[in-house]
Each structure stands twice: as structure tokens, then as C-alpha cells.
Amino acid sequence: MPYDDSPPPTRRARPLTVAAALAAVSLTAAGCGGGPQSDGAGGAPPRPGADTGSPTAPAGERPEPSKTASASDSAEPLPQGPLTGRTVVIDPGHNPRNRDHTREINEKVDIGTGRKECDTTGTSTDDGYPEARFTLDVSHRLRTLLEAEGARVRLTHDGERPFGPCIDERARIGNEAKADAVVSVHADGSAVGNRGFHVILPAEVKGGGADTSKIVRSSADLGARIAGHFVRTTGSQPSNYIGGKTGLDTRNDLGGLNLSTVPKVFVECGNMRDPKDAALLTSASWRQKAAQGMADGISSYLKG
């Protein structure tokens, strides 16, 4: 299918209860999908020959200029808005160059309850649109929307690094920023027919350097609000294969969640291996809706 790679818009300048957000998730509409088997790896490994990490953007893609990791905070004066004084960290899953650094990303790091690979390449659509490109595009769009409300936004990376960051560093960036919310953006690589987004929540984990006891409830609130707004804004259904059709899944094996000391969730926006979901994920207009749904959920959570 052709890629729709219109650029993100130029950067410029109603609270929900958890129950209400979950009720919104039950609405039916056309779906999208996914869930990682490692920290955002997507369900199935990339198919042979799939371009899962090419630093070259798909034809016609004109992304926002990258910022370096050290300067990935909001670089321009922010407008005053309802999120003024709040900090959000956006974690674009994977890195387009991970595939060129398999030795480095396979090195295991401590996730508190054990050890896990630094990072993964991510998945791709059948015709080679990489998850790592998708996550950067959606993250740029999400940053723009949140900054327009006055939030200070930081990305864990902007594709400028040779690989990673590793999952423990991704968690550390959010912790050190004392973020009010962290959202890790992903897409899944599951079987054809598996469709529908879901939000991954941290389980209560304590061991080694991991202790999520203080963020489980707040993360669940954040995740439920994002799920509620995501279904409304995108028209997509909750996953039909993960989370019991609630749009929510709780996991204890993701280092990015286990090591977080601030409210954090993963958003799996769709299944790149299902043709119907892939048609959504490769559409710039749908990616804008996905970013808007996440932004509305984050904003609802931060406003209380």
C-alpha cells in the first residue's frame, strides 16, 4: 500500500473518571491493534527482508527536523495553557538505526526483576514501513499538541542516536525529568486478523531496582483516560486479542514500566501485520488522530 507521509502540523501555539474512560472504550467502530512481547518489540519478529530500522524515511516523508537527545525538551517559548507547568515525556518506541546495531541492542540490562535486551528493532508493515518511523512521526505530532496546551515536553530520543536508548535509560529519562506523565508509543506485529489498540499498564512489581507500588494506580488512571479518548478520536476498537476487549493490559515484564517512578503507560496503536490496521498506521491523517487521542487522554489525566 502507498505511504501517506504528510508532515506533522507546524508547531504553534473535560475530565474523565476511570469508569467513564473505560465506558468509552466499549464503543464500537473500525479497529486497529497490538502488544509487545518484549519492551515494545511487537508481537511477532520482523519478517525476513522487512525494513524495520532504516534511517531513510519512506518516499515523500517530510518529518519535523530532529532535535538531539540533550535538547529534546521544548526548545521554543511555550504558550500559556491548561498544561502550563506540567512535564510530559514521550518515548518513541525503538530507533530506526537499531537494526544496524544488533550486538549493542541485544546486550542485556537490569530491569529490577531480572535482565532483558537493551532494545529491539521493532516490527514493520508487510511492505516495509517500520514501527520505529511510525513511533517518531506520532511522537512529533503528540509533542506539538501538548506544547500547544503549554506542557513542557521531552522525547527520550529523536532518531539521532546510533541505537537505543536502552529500556532502562528510557525509564530513567522520565524519572529524572520528574515527569507528570510518560507515554511510550508503539505498534504491534501480530497475526493477520488481530486488530485493535491497547494500552499497557504497569503491574505492581517490587524487586531489585524496581518498585511500581507508588505508580500503579496513577498509571491505570492515565491509561484508562488515554484509551477512552483514543477510541473516540480514532474510531478504532480495543484489541480483539489482548486485554479482553477492554483496551487495557497489565504487564510485569517490561523494563520501561518496571523501572519507572512516575506514571507511565505504553500505547500499542495497531497491528502492523494486519492489512486493515496497516492501512490506518500508514495514513498521516490517521496518525494525527492517534496523536490527538493520546493528547486528549494525557490532558484529561493532568487536569484531574
Contact present, 164 and 248 (Cβ < 8 Å): no
201 beta partners? 250
- In the prediction, which pLDDT does 38 show? 42
> For residue range 231-256, what is the model confidence (pLDDT) as tens digits?
999 999 999 999 999 999 999 999 99
List the single range of 59-68, 71-80, 211-220 with lowest mean pLDDT. Answer: 59-68
> For residue range 123-149, what is the model confidence (pLDDT) as tens digits?
999 999 999 999 999 999 999 999 999
As a whole number of angstroms, the distance between CA 163 and CA 94 comes to: 8
Give which of 202, 240, 225 is closest to 298, Cα–Cα.
225
In Å, how far from its chain's centre is CA 229?
15
Pairing, β 181-188 against β 87-92: parallel
Q: Calculate what percentage of the chain has a pLDDT beyond 90.
A: 72
Q: When comparing pLDDT for 16 and 215, which is higher?
A: 215
List the single range of 63-72, 107-116, 228-237 with lowest mean pLDDT. Answer: 63-72
Model confidence band, residue 7 (pLDDT cutoffs 50, 70, 90): low
Contact present, 194 and 33 (Cβ < 8 Å): yes
- In the prediction, which pLDDT does 9 show? 59
User: Where do runs of H (alpha helix) occur along 120-254?
Assistant: 131-148, 167-176, 216-234
Contact present, 135 and 266 (Cβ < 8 Å): no
Model confidence band, residue 64 (pLDDT cutoffs 50, 70, 90): very low
Residue 286 DSSP SS3: helix
As a whole number of angstroms, the distance between CA 60 and CA 222 comes to: 35
DSSP single-letter state for residue 212: -
Active site residue 149: no
Alpha-carbon Rg of the chain, whole angstroms? Answer: 17
Q: Please state the rounded mean pLDDT for residues 1-18.
A: 50
Give which of 219, 245, 235, 222 is closest to 277, Cα–Cα.
235
Please state, rounded to an integer, the average pLDDT across all residues of the chain.
Answer: 84
Q: Calculate what percentage of the chain has a pLDDT beyond 70.
A: 75
> For residue range 167-178, what is the model confidence (pLDDT) as tens digits?
999 999 999 999
As a whole number of angstroms, the distance between CA 286 and CA 291 comes to: 9
- In the prediction, which pLDDT does 60 show? 37
Which one from 64, 131, 169, 268 is the annotated catalytic residue?
268
Q: How far apart are the first and last CA of the chain?
A: 41
Residue 48 has pLDDT above 90, yes or no: no
Domains defined along the chain, listed by start: 18-40+78-303 (3.40.630.40)
As a whole number of angstroms, the distance between CA 90 and CA 59 comes to: 25
Contact present, 96 and 132 (Cβ < 8 Å): yes
As a whole number of angstroms, the distance between CA 86 and CA 72 comes to: 16
Residue type, 56: T
C-alpha cell at 188: 504491534
Q: Please state the rounded mean pLDDT for residues 11-18.
A: 40
